Amino acid sequence: REFDLRHFNDGNYEKAVEERNATENISKVLYPNDTSVLGKELRLKQQYFFVSASIQDILRRFLSTHEMKTQSDWKILPEKIAIQLNDTHPSIGVAEMMYQLVDVHQLPWAFAWELVVKIFAYTNHTLMPEALETWTVDLFGRLLPRHLEIIYQINHEFLHMVNHHFPGDAELLRRVSIIDEDHGRRVRMAHLAVVGSHTVNGVAALHSELLKSTLFADFDRIFPGKMTNVTNGITPRRWLNQANPGLTALIEKAIGPGFKKDLTQIKKITLLADDADFRKAFAQVKLANKQRLAAKIEAKTGVKLNVNSLFDVQIKRIHEYKRQLLNVLHVITLYNRIRRGDKDITPRTVIFGGKAAPGYWMAKHIIRLINDVATIVNEDVAVGDQLKVVFYPNYEVSAAEILFPGSDLSEQISTAGTEASGTGNMKMALNGALTIGTLDGANVEIKEEVGDENIFIFGLTTPQVAEVKANGYKPRDYYNSNSELKQVLDMIAEGYFSIDEPARYQVIVDNLLNNDQYLLLADYASYIEAQERVGKLYQHQDDWTRMSILNVANMAKFSSDRAIGDYAKNIWHVSPNIKPKQKQSKAV
């Protein structure tokens, strides 16, 4: 109701517009802080609102061009509709489509379910069980009672099928059930998505293999062949042509404009990596992009950068598994080396950017640490231009279009086995940044494309991570055996970077020494060694530029055109409808 006159006349002005305000909240701020009960409720309402509106519109458009006289007429629905569930957030769509087909359009349950499974496919974006969305049965039942009934029925029939094929395996039934009975009865939305889809894909080759061997291993047994891979892609129109007009113009001058529509043609610049004139022009474009970025950073933060320094950039969502904290440990290590007078240290500007989820306290605390470290480092006259640290404020797409072209080094340093794919790694490489990273996500495929010699790989591999954890990981052993690491952690713990509140970051150090879930201390020495290799190579600008060109030349695989083509061919089973160009009539 827009306005309640009765409440208004009673003098209760807030109550008069309460219903309207509550309704508008659904579409005011997408994905609010969901640490509170009200936040969780609003988030579920949002998901259902957008999913239901989309499905109703899809069916409306379908029915506007197809007359359904009999039940069998509905068989063409999956031929005309394909819905891709992008992570678990829209997975309520499986239950909503059943609701529309069974309750609204009066189709029999079994027939409707057959249609639903042919319509939906599910893309998984995370290997972390805790990141897979679940809802309490109480909340779900209160907001969407009919949809909970539908999910119960889907689950009942699914478990009956599993029990038929794997009789007597009660543990399997417990693990794959859509309803989690072990943690206060919760609806597992990822399980609903897997059960209700004909295909499930990961977004990098390693990620998809890990889905089958770990997270969804049971489902891979139950539905052999359902799991596949579609490596993520990025649009070169935005991330090269629009974001980096200087590089685009240089490449076009060298090989023509064809790469703008077909990124596979960019491979032609491979031979130009050995052309001195092209390398010089390429380096000039990079310098201009760094100057543009430096001007933007100075305007936003007041920090003046040395554009001839190595621009070392980590811009992505702030999360413990992405290990911005490991980057901070390296920054402090460099700071200590400079202060003690070490020679042959390459001048470096370390740029962080990204946002944390509203309720993620530790991620926000890491952001604060980065800013505190930046203050101390940037104001230390003994360091000068040898090292600068910047946290880019309010990171967004328009900022990314300046940051990616201006980057020299791309930080892709998540713990092996935690990052599904990543796309920042692709955007950076397409703009000529060299990657320092673990064998995680799409880094593995970037390494395959650019060659081992054109990327800086460090750290434990996914099997090694599992082995270290299985053997009883003791992070304190690394602390006690590495004097530089010990010095860095002691400085943080003792308040070197938080003089006004010395114990401010004790919780971070305690977490690293006593838990270190993402193995920062185990990878520290390898990371420092890789960064030393980076610094040494950057002193040889011609070699650095050659590697940079080869990275750009080998990015065609990571075009969104290829990714969409994979979805179309292997998941949606559609082919392009290319209309022949009409011949222009000659003027008389």
316 is catalytic: yes
Distance of CA 535 to the CA centre of its chain: 28
CA 457/CA 402 separation, integer angstroms? 26
349 is catalytic: no
Task: Select from 314, 511, 564, 518 the least CA-distant residue to 422.
Answer: 314
CA 35/CA 45 separation, integer angstroms? 15
CA 86/CA 126 separation, integer angstroms? 11
Cα angle vertex 381, ends 379, 382, to 5°?
125
Positions of E strands within 65-199 = 83-86, 120-123, 134-136, 179-180, 186-188
For 382, residues 6+ apart whose C-beta sits below 8 A from its C-beta are 338, 339
The catalytic position among 89, 226, 279, 322 is 322
| 122 φ, ψ (degrees, to nearest 5) | -130, 125
Could you give the residue ranges of the DSSP H alpha helices within 340-396? 361-378
Is the separation of the CB atoms in 311 and 408 below 8 Å?
A: yes
Residue for token digits 């401010």?
504
3-state secondary structure of 409: strand
| 84 φ, ψ (degrees, to nearest 5) | -100, 120
343 is catalytic: no
The catalytic position among 40, 45, 105, 125 is 125
Q: Residue 82 corresponds to which amino acid? A: A
267 is catalytic: no
80 is catalytic: no
The catalytic position among 7, 198, 267, 317 is 317
280 is catalytic: no
| Dihedral sign for Cα atoms in the order 297, 299, 302, 303 | positive
The catalytic position among 231, 248, 423, 545 is 423
For 77, residues 6+ apart whose C-beta sits below 8 A from its C-beta are 62, 115, 119
CA 546/CA 549 separation, integer angstroms? 5
Which DSSP category does 204 fall into? Answer: S
The catalytic position among 212, 427, 504, 546 is 427
The catalytic position among 186, 316, 323, 504 is 316
Task: Select from 143, 170, 59, 141 the least CA-distant residue to 107.
Answer: 59
Annotated catalytic sites, by residue? 125, 316-317, 322, 423, 427
